[in-house]
Structure 1
Amino acid sequence: MDRRSLTHEILSQLPLAQQVSGTTAWGTLGTIKSYLGFDAESDLQHLVEAIAGADHGAILDVLTNRTNAQRQQITKMFQALTKQVMGRALGAALSGNLERVIMGLLKPLAQYDAHELRVAMQVRWAGPAPQ
């Protein structure tokens, strides 16, 4: 059995794959879906009010129920309307782990991945030198 077919066999048994017409469609069972009632203007208004009142629940509700692409739209609209960076405004209203999570949610996917890889490599190389 060649390596590719073994990998395919193993992956086919995972719940990540869905059989469609005899072929496997990878990634069809993801949990992050576009928010159907998405309205960047409305979300922005809720966020501005939540930031002003330091309403952590409202901030979490909006940002964790939107896809990264939707969050990027909200971020751009925030900057265009307020002439401020949304991350800085949210950082002033949040702290600790919640602030780190929200800042991660605001980053574009590639930037977030690069940041996490950099942190992981720093941790790896900060350990004792191999002998």
Structure 2
Amino acid sequence: MRLLGIHHVAVIASDYARSRDFYVRILGLAVIAENYRDARDSWKLDLRLPDDSQLELFSFPNPPARPSRPEACGLRHLAFRVTDLDAMVAHLQREGVACEPIRVDEFTGSRFTFFADPDDLPLELYEAPAR
């Protein structure tokens, strides 16, 4: 048995329309399917990245806040691979998304930065060569 990769990551949004706009329009993820689940009063949006990995965006009425800072045990952040970090940071800044200063990974030499989604979920851009 072996793992083949990450199929999807699930994110719960407090404001579905705002988060949908962020992930689709600003980050450019492609919509696979969008469904309203009446029994749960919840939206489920399936999004695809260029490498075919997926992000599921959910909405639920009154989801509890999840602390991001200080860092707590558990999933820390979601990182997206990019080939042109400067261009992506410039795009995010034009959209009003603040990015931390670009840093260099001391072990790989790759450049990266952090930013946040509309619910303050920490996201990372990690510059890596195209495959």
- The interval holding the TM-score normalised by the smaller chain is under 0.3
Q: Which structure has greater strand proportion?
A: 2
Higher alpha-carbon Rg: 1
**Structure with more contact order per residue of length (Cα contacts < 8 Å, sep ≥ 6):** 2
TM-score (norm 1): 0.21
